[in-house]
């Protein structure tokens, strides 16, 4: 499979690239500037906020993954990036997998999204709203073939176990109330969805077993 990864230099994006390479896929890392990549990975300069760039880079690929994340203070740019990604892939018909946020997931027993709970950190309000708008952009799009993957509450560097649980719109928690997954296993889940599509034009979530 030929896969283009926008945001390939980020914490999640770099792990997605590594997982895709390990599975034998032909990977293009997309960035606004030159960057180091694993052997065999192609680098293309492109801006995820420009639909023309997305169209140009997605052409000839089987799948585009959006793993971009705005810098602190620029969270409001995320919905525009989502719109550009959706527009660009719609022009080529290439499928889009979006790495999203957890804040819109409903907390079990609370009847409210994670971002509306008392424990949600105030400093994450801006990115939570941006991710909510990002998801809304996907859900309102009538053309692109998209999938939106929300992480659990905690997405952290760790080990690749290859195992995870799958959910829909509710936050996944374990018996101790912990909602987490390693970035490595998150990349596994994303590539599993890429290879065996099960969530076309919808959102799903994953968490550690």
Tens-digit pLDDT profile for residues 38-96? 999 999 999 999 999 999 999 999 999 999 999 999 999 999 999 999 999 999 999 99
Mean pLDDT of 123-152: 97
Q: What is the pLDDT of residue 163?
A: 98
39-43-48-51 Cα dihedral, nearest 10 degrees: -130
Between CA 130 and CA 71 the distance in angstroms is 12
Q: What is the pLDDT of residue 188?
A: 98
Residue 155 has pLDDT above 90, yes or no: yes
Q: What CATH fold (topology level) applies to the domain 2-207?
A: Rossmann fold (3.40.50)
- Sheet of strand 2-6, all strands in order from the earlier edge strand to the far edge: 42-45, 26-31, 2-6, 63-66, 95-99, 146-150, 202-207, 165-167
Mean pLDDT of 146-173: 98
Mean pLDDT of 181-199: 98
Of the candidates 168, 170, 152, 103, the residue with the CA atom closest to the CA atom of residue 130: 103
Of the candidates 8, 147, 17, the residue with the CA atom closest to the CA atom of residue 89: 147
Between CA 121 and CA 46 the distance in angstroms is 33
pLDDT grade, residue 110 (50/70/90)?
Answer: confident
Mean pLDDT of 167-179: 97
Q: What is the pLDDT of residue 111?
A: 86
% of the chain at pLDDT higher than 70? 100
Residue 37 has pLDDT above 90, yes or no: yes
Give yes or no for a contact between 80 and 27, defined as CB atoms under 8 angstroms apart: no
Of the candidates 144, 209, 147, 157, the residue with the CA atom closest to the CA atom of residue 187: 157
% of the chain at pLDDT higher than 90? 96
Mean pLDDT of 178-186: 98
């Amino acid at each position: 499979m030929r896969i283009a990864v926008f945001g390939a230099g980020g914490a999640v994006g770099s792990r997605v690239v590594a997982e895709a390479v390990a599975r034998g896929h032909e990977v293009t890392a997309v960035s606004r500037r030159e960057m180091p990549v694993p052997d065999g990975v192609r680098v293309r300069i492109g801006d995820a906020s420009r639909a023309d760039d997305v169209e140009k880079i997605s052409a000839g690929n089987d799948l585009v993954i959006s793993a971009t994340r705005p810098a602190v203070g620029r969270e409001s740019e995320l919905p525009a990036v989502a719109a550009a990604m959706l527009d660009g892939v719609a022009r080529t018909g290439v499928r889009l997998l979006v790495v999203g946020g957890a804040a819109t997931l409903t907390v079990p027993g609370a009847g409210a999204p994670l971002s509306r709970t008392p424990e949600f950190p105030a400093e994450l309000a801006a990115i939570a709203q941006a991710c909510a708008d990002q998801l809304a952009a996907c859900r309102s799009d009538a053309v692109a073939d998209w999938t939106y993957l929300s992480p659990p509450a905690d997405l952290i560097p760790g080990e690749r176990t290859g195992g995870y649980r799958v959910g829909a719109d509710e936050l996944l928690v374990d018996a101790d109330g912990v909602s987490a997954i390693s970035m490595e296993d998150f990349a596994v889940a994303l590539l599993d969805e890429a290879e065996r599509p099960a969530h076309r034009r919808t959102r799903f979530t994953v968490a550690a077993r």
